[in-house]
Structures are given as C-alpha cells and as structure tokens.
C-alpha cells in the first residue's frame, strides 16, 4: 500500500509541475489561445455544439524513463482535453470524464482534473490495437459528448 501511495504522490507532483506554467482555471475563456504551448501529441481536434475540443496525449513512460528512482506506474499516458468555447462564452466549474475501451473490450473510467488550461487524466494504453475514447464535459446547462478511435504508436 505504501508503494502505491508513493507512486501516486510522485505522479501527482509530476502532473502538477506540467500544469504550473499555464495554471488551472475554474473560469476559462480560450477564444484567443494558441494551442502551440500545450504539451503532448495532438491526437484529435473537433467541434461539438460550437465548442472546440482539442485532445493531446502525453507518453508518461517516455518522459519518465530517464528519471532515476522512479517507481513503476500503472498509467502509461496522460490524456488532456482542452475545451474552447464559442466567442464571448466562458466555461465555469466544468466536470470532465473519460471512458476508454481497450482492444479487448475492458474499460477505464476516469474523472479528469483541471490543469494547464485543460482537463487531464492518467490512462493505461499499453495494449496494441484500437482504443475507443469517449469524453463527457458538463458545465451549466451544457453537456458535450465526443467519441473517437485512437491507436497508440
């Protein structure tokens, strides 16, 4: 149990360190924001009900392989979702979650945390093959749902 707690704390500190340059916001307006400053590989850009959705994936194992004394983590990747409201709108107190189905049909259901101007969660994408990623963001009277297939490299 102590090993899992230590690994969780180290992972949390690492993720917070990624978030510090941009800061997490409860009220966000990204109408003029440049996407070039976000970390990770761009894996999807789409629009749902006028809101832009940008997904970026961070390979945590690749980033941490050169860090000495790092405990092994269950999560292999960190998925970020950035929500861009229509001009003049803002997003207040959003709740964001992911439901990820692996190639064998097993699912991971995770709630995302606000960080770096977006919402992120750790995932295990260690299997070869296609994953189905569903996201849901709820704020005010708005419910955004998106689904897509992704195959890790």
What is the rounded average pLDDT for all residues in the chain? 78
CB burial readout 28-57, b (16+ within 10 A) else e:
bebeeeeeeebbbeebbeeeeeebbbbbbb
pLDDT in tens, 62-119: 665 555 555 556 799 999 999 999 987 888 889 999 999 999 999 999 999 999 899 9
- Asked if residue 150 has pLDDT above 50, the reply is yes
pLDDT tier at 60, thresholds 50, 70, 90:
confident
Write down the pLDDT at residue 35. Answer: 38
Q: Which of 45, 123, 109, 125 is nearest to 83 (CA)?
A: 45
User: What per-residue confidence (pLDDT) applies to 66?
Assistant: 58
Q: Which residue has the higher pLDDT, 66 or 125?
A: 125
Report which of residues 21 and 66 the model is more confident about: 66
Separation between Cα atoms, residue 8 and residue 14, nearest integer Å: 10
Per-residue pLDDT, 151: 96
């Amino acid at each position: 149990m102590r090993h899992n707690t230590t690994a969780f704390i180290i992972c949390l500190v690492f993720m917070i360190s990624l978030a510090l340059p941009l800061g997490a916001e409860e009220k966000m307006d990204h109408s003029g924001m440049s996407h070039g400053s976000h970390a990770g590989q761009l894996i999807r850009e789409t629009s749902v009900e006028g809101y832009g959705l940008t997904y970026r994936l961070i390979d945590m194992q690749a980033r941490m392989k050169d860090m000495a004394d790092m405990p092994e983590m269950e999560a292999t990747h960190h998925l970020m979702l950035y929500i861009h409201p229509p001009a003049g709108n803002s997003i207040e107190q959003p709740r964001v979650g992911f439901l990820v189905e692996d190639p064998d049909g097993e699912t991971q259901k995770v709630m995302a945390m606000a960080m770096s101007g977006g919402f992120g969660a750790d995932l295990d994408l260690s299997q070869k093959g296609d994953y189905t990623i569903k996201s849901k963001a709820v704020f005010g009277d708005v419910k955004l749902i998106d689904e897509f297939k992704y195959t890790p490299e």
